[in-house]
Amino acid sequence: MTIIDGKKVAADIRAELKVTIDKLKAEGKGVPGLVAILVGEDPASKVYVGMKEKACIEAGLYSKIDRLSSDTSELELLKLIEAYNNDEKIHGILVQLPLPKHINEDAIIEAISPTKDVDGFHPINVGKMVIGKETLYPCTPHGVVELLKRYDIETKGKHVVVVGRSNIVGKPVANMLLQKKAGANAVVTVVHSAAKDLASITKQADISIAAIGVPEFIKADMVKDDVVVIDVGVNRVEDSTKKSGYKLVGDVDYENVSKKSSFITPVPGGVGPMTIAMLLQNTYLAYLSLKNK
């Protein structure tokens, strides 16, 4: 069994990007710029935005954070996004979700220029992904695909079972892996809570991708021997032995499923670090696209 080290792969991607950006600086071509907009005081969002800023600085990108109060109106946020759509120093715009309830998330996502949509959530970018055109892909699903590539895990003709159908992970990773191209070309099944016998389907998987948001949902008797397991879930569960009072676990029963796996991602340290690495890569790709216009 091989543990897929997302921390190492993400560090490699950031290091590769830094070399590229240092070269841009040396040639006087400017650097990719990312703005993160945080509305309100959600603790997890604040931590995540801080991690993004740190990663940007380490890789040499220009980074800016706009911290707005929770009573910021939808109109104010839309005006700010429009300003960044027209800002030549900014190549990527990220609005941290979730937003306060009085703001329509769909309206905000659709207001971001598709060419600067480094989260890959804009309907135009989603549409391009579905029909197989190059675009800015959603960061977490793209991170999953990149891990499979970097560990030389064959996907062509393999049966990938995705557990979960969210717009953020389940649907996009399924679409990315069924495309007829290198690093994909898989036979993909998506299962979810409506499945009458979910385990009978997950047991068929050559590659199992768990993105359901339920702690340790995938048990050893739900997978076959030598399965490749990609655990996207991050769940807090109580643990009195920890100073924080909780521990992080995935959607997979790691201790038992790992014994049957050929490859498996841990939680934490698997898919999670890849999300930010792919965000930085998207910002660089957006920079190239906008510079070449």
Question: Any idea which residues carry the catalytic annotation?
Answer: 52, 96, 119
Question: Each residue of 194-225: b (16+ CB within 10 Å) or e?
Answer: eeeebeebbeebbbbbbbbeebbbbeeebbee
CB of 109 closer than 8 Å to CB of 280: no
How long a stretch of residues is the chain?
A: 293
Q: Please measure the distance between the N-terminal and C-terminal CA atoms of the chain and give it in whole angstroms.
A: 46
**Gyration radius (Cα) of the chain, Å:** 19
Q: Is the peptide bond before 98 cis (omega within 30 degrees of 0)?
A: yes
Whole-angstrom CA distances from 185 to 67, 137, 141, 150 are 41, 17, 15, 16
Strand ranges of the sheet holding 227-231, from the earlier edge strand across to the other edge: 2-3, 261-264, 227-231, 207-210, 159-163, 187-191
CA distance 1 to 19: 33
